[in-house]
Structure 1
């Protein structure tokens, strides 16, 4: 059973709706697309060490965040708090899902101080922060240019990023389709969890960086390296 925490601004009908959609997502992935998850031991090891982390995945489908939410709650009893675009909260179909899943709303201009406080609050409650660096769904299997939010956040919180590759998700629910598709091509969908990516120079001796040292070139380089790690998992 997928549990959704009810907040003051989330009514019971939204919670029920979100629960039904998430349960259907499980069927689509595990049954129709014979879905499997690789690299669970990496997450188990982090949780055993009580090590906070961010997950960062490629983005091709509405199923992306739903199934990651499901897997982390099912396997690790951990909630993933995703960063979601403001427009998703205004979408009649998606709003109950992102609200029921306690996603954090961000706008196109970036992360405000208020949003940053929400992220830090979620982190302090031992939740996992979920980010899609591309910021939008790709129309094919090629990765889009990524934003540097995941790297910035990892440096701020001094925690690693766990790259995740989502394979077969575009076929499950393409960007240009209103509804999920059946598995006519007999594809096996897959969630591949990679090794921790530390944005610091030495993962055993995290360097405290002065804000003035965090240059655009540095962030761009680290973000490119993160996306390369994700690409290797596809």
Structure 2
């Protein structure tokens, strides 16, 4: 119910304010499980993608947004739940495994799951190497992966800014990638790596970002 209320208000307002340029939206399946794998430039990415996709897209967000005390904490929890986000404790050593299990539950319900294979946002604009969780999800769920290319979102809420700003934003959806049957007999670790690299190459083709060639590490204070 909360999701329906928030999405009846936020997307129309956001589209009027930021007027995002959207390309390839028809490539997102209207029903059934699908993974939306995107580059990551800003905290606001997890708001931009859901407001342009006509179906619910579930993202994971750090648990701090859901369990802060007081009225501000309650409003924060309502906001993130209203956007369809689920909490994950990023400081838990088992969080990575738990987040994959949560993603598989979402996909098992036939929903869309959004993921940033880079793991954390790029602070220098380069496209970092993808972590293989997305490859694991694609193999295990057996569903299509739609690459997503975001540009300009880093200017909506630059690192360190408290309030969003007006900026030119583009969201491009690529052709769905399917991996069913393509990696039969391939060792699981190698299959996950090759799938992830293919997904990241597709994202890079949409954004034109310079490949960093290394993993992006989350800052201590992020």
Which TM class, normalised by the smaller chain length? 0.7 to 0.9
Q: Flag the 1:87–1:219 CA change in 2: closer, same or farther, 3 A.
A: farther
Gaps spanning 5+ residues in structure 1: where?
A: 7-14
Deviates more, 1:100-109 or 1:152-161: 100-109
1:164-203 map, 5 Å = 164-183=148-167, 188-198=168-178, 200=179
Q: Counterpart of 2:37 in 1: which secondary structure?
A: strand
Aligned pair count reads 199
Once residues 166 and 26 of structure 1 are traced to their aligned partners in structure 2, the CA distance between those partners, rounded to angstroms, is 19
TM-score by length of 2: 0.74
Gaps spanning 5+ residues in structure 2: where?
A: 208-222
| TM-superposed deviation, 1:89 | 3.3
Once residues 105 and 150 of structure 2 are traced to their aligned partners in structure 1, the CA distance between those partners, rounded to angstroms, is 28
Q: Flag the 1:112–1:222 CA change in 2: closer, same or farther, 3 A.
A: closer
Once residues 194 and 40 of structure 1 are traced to their aligned partners in structure 2, the CA distance between those partners, rounded to angstroms, is 9
- Encode CA deviations 1:141-171: one digit per residue, 9 max, x unaligned: 2123322111111100111210001111111
Q: Is the CA contact (8 Å cut-off) linking 1:60 and 1:174 kept in structure 2? A: no
Tell me if 1:140 matches 2:124: yes
Q: Counterpart of 2:66 in 1: which secondary structure?
A: helix
Q: Flag the 1:178–1:233 CA change in 2: closer, same or farther, 3 A.
A: same
Q: Is the CA contact (8 Å cut-off) linking 1:42 and 1:195 kept in structure 2? A: yes
What's the Cα RMSD here? 3.0
TM-score by length of 1: 0.71
Q: Is the CA contact (8 Å cut-off) linking 1:138 and 1:175 kept in structure 2? A: no
